[in-house]
Each structure stands twice: as C-alpha cells, then as structure tokens.
Amino acid sequence: MFRLDGRVALVTGASQGIGEAIAKQLAAQGATVVCAARTLGKLQEVADAITAAGGKADVIAADLSDTASVKAAVATTVERHGAIHILVNNAGITRDKLLIQMKEEDWDAVLDTNLKGAWTAIQAATKPMMKQRYGRIINIASVVGQMGNAGQSNYVAAKAGLIGLTKSVARELASRNVTANAVTPGYIETAMTAGLSEDVKAEFTKQIPLGRMGTPADIAGAVAFLASDEAGYVTGQVLSVNGGMLMP
C-alpha cells in the first residue's frame, strides 16, 4: 500500500460516493484528510468514520460554484494543517437535458461547479504547493468527457475541459515538483446510478469488457497511487478506470 504519512489532502465532494471513498482511502494510507462539501452534516459522518478507524480528518464547508468559498477552503486547510500536499477535485453536479432543451442556467451551473470550481481550487493551491516544491493535483473527470454522451452536453464539456486543464497545469507546475493528473471513471455504482432500473444497468454492463460496473473503491485506489511519492514521475496523464468500455 502506498503510504501518505505526513501529507495533507483536500478532497472536494467528500460527503458521499466516489469522494467519500477517496477520503477514506487517503486517510487509511496515512494522510490527514480535509473533507469538503456544501453541507457539513454527511461530511461530518465521513470524518467521524475516518477518525473511528484510526485516521485523521477535518471538515470544511465549500461550495465549488462560489469562488470565495473555494479559496477559503484551501486557505483554511493550510492555516489549520500547515500545508496542502494533495488536492482532489471530485465535486460535481449534473443538469442533464438534450441540447435543444437545455437552459442557459443548466449550462452555467454545471460549468461553474465542475470546471471553474476545480480551476479555482487549483489556482488557490498552486502558491503553497510551489512554495513547498511538492504537490499532487488529481482531477476526477469522466469517461463521457472522452467519448461524449447524449443529453449531457454541459457535463461532457466540463469534464473534457477538466482533462485539458489537467494537461496545462501539469506543464506549468512540473518544474516545482507538482504533478497534475486526471482520473476518468466509467459507470460507477453510486447514489447517482442507484436509481437506474436493472434493465438499464444491464445495458451499461454489456458495454464493459470486465462485465461489471465499477465501485467508488476502484476510483479511490487509482487516486491513492497518483497521490503517492511512487507516482512522482507521472504527470499530465489521464488514467481511465472504466472496465475497458473505452480504450483510447
């Protein structure tokens, strides 16, 4: 297991699903994990579970669509814990509609949270990471950002943009020993997919060579590697965790 002792990680969207799994995985490997999301209720439950398991966790309320809130979350992380070594941009929303039906506010809401929010967090974390000459930036994109998906033009644009942002950040910060990588999950079993019918899930599974939907733990494992010292020579990459449904 990759060890992260002494590292401080900020994970957005950590109150459930993939973000919760990432927070718990990083904590299990020794990191102090700052869990961020819009509301503190469920977030505190995640932090309490980490602490009960012997890990170190903190919570911060942060709205990724609010620039000031995002900057404050990064600043508070550094103030409380003395550094920010790992930033995981996981928070995201959907406002699915066909292009012809999509309202401008649906487009703006998704781009503001899923792309601009990540950009703001990266920009805020850049100065302390450059100063300490160490950083791991990991952006959770999506397989649909690589292949497109009907009814999700806003979400796809945000996730594709996140991949491009990752590559640019990797080039800008490499000289300061700060890496930036993206993870692109495929179909993952989360609260978002729990409401799908068994027939729909079966159709999804037919597209996956490994024959199953992924789990949040599958994504957390990939993030843990990219957050580690062992991944110090990996930057600007897109790690696809999709069971083989898309092989770029």
Q: Which residues are catalytic?
A: 155
How many CA atoms lie less than 13 Å away from 195 in the CB half-sphere? 2
Tokens (6 digits) for 20: 């919760």
| DSSP for residue 214 | B
**Rounded CA separation 161/143 (Å):** 13
How far is the CA of 141 from the CAs of 11, 52, 181, in angstroms? 14, 30, 10
CB-based contact 110:153 (threshold 8 Å): no
**Rounded CA separation 128/121 (Å):** 12
Q: Quick check: helix, strand or coil at residue 88? A: strand
